[in-house]
Amino acid sequence: MANVSYRDQVLRLREDAIVSAVNRLLATKGYDLMTVDEVAAEAGLAKASLYKHFTSKEELAAAAMVRVLERATEQVDALDAQPQRPVIERLEAIVRWTLEVQLAGEMPSLPSQNSRLTDALRGHAAYMERLVVLSDKLGDWISRAQSESTLNPALPPEMVLFTLFARACDPVLGLLKAGGQHADQQIIDWLVATTFDGLGTGARRAVAAPKPAARSVKAVRAR
């Protein structure tokens, strides 16, 4: 039995190295420019061996996304262990975490346009399950923040959710970092601030404010 466990452990390590390589390549080059040859080279094994672990390039991408979704969920759970902390601060902390991951070059981002990949992911059970779990947890925070009006209650909750996901790969961070004029932490502070407060100063407030949008964020499943 110890033998089996050992083999399993080696297997885990191998696959973890592969997923790490995919993660880094997705973060830097993106899905379309990432080649399976590169993944194999970086993970230190032959391409044919890699295909014994993951049956396609899409599977590789899905594995990397599953891992980052799990890590995000861990972060959410850790923040939920501090129930005295205001919900809006937890949302802020999650955005901050995603930006730090992105700044470290470890946020895998998928092209929202590649329909082949999108379809594959929609049919990927493990990926979809993690996505729903995380979305539900964040959706809970969002509706609580909206009911106490620390988040704008006029926005549909799924829009807030989409925006949080989108900011995790916002190109603004990369552009500011490439400018080389500002400290990393300063950049993150600004991005968090604009996510929740916008570019303006509040002088504009009282724009369109339609019905309170009571629907749950679980509508994501329908997509």
Partner DNA sequence: GTCTATAAGAGGATAGAC
Partner DNA sequence: GTCTATCCTCTTATAGAC
- 20 makes contact, choosing from its own copies, DNA, none, with CB < 5 to 8 Å by partner type, with none
Residue recorded with tokens 């005295």: 84
Tokens of 57: 């390039």
The nearest distance, CB 206 to DNA, in angstroms, is: 48
How would you classify residue 198: left for phi > 0, otherwise alpha for psi between -120 and 50, otherwise beta? left
Sign of CA dihedral 54, 58, 62, 64: positive
Quick note: the x/- pattern for DNA over 29-58, rule CB under 7 A, is: ----xxxxx-------xxxxx-xxx-xxxx
Q: Which residues form the interface with its own copies (CB under 8 A)?
A: 28-30, 32-33, 88, 92, 109, 111-114, 149-152, 155-156, 158-160, 162-163, 166, 170-172, 174-176, 178-179, 181-182, 186, 189-190, 192-205, 207-208, 210, 219, 222-223
Q: Taking CB within 5 to 8 Å according to partner kind, which of its own copies, DNA, none is near residue 197?
A: its own copies
As given in the structure block, the two tokens for residue 107 are: 């946020």
Cα 87 from Cα 80, distance rounded (Å): 9
**Closer of 17 and 132 to DNA (Cβ):** 17
Would you give the binding string for DNA spanning residues 82-121, x where CB under 7 A is met? Answer: ----------------------------------------
Decide whether 5 or 201 has the Cβ nearer to its own copies. 201
Cα dihedral 23/69/97/15 (nearest 10) = -30
CB of 129 to DNA, least distance (A): 23
Handedness of CA 124, 125, 126, 127 (dihedral sign): positive
Return the number of the residue (50 or 220) whose C-beta is nearest its own copies: 220
Minimum CB separation of residue 32 from DNA in Å reads 8
Assigned token pair, 203:
């002088």
Output 84 or 113, the one with its CB closest to its own copies.
113
> 121-126: long-range contacts (C-beta < 8 A, 24 or more apart)?
121/58, 121/61, 121/62, 121/65, 122/223, 124/58, 124/62, 126/62, 126/66
Question: Under the rule (CB under 7 A), what is the footprint of DNA?
Answer: 7, 11, 14, 33-37, 45-49, 51-53, 55-58
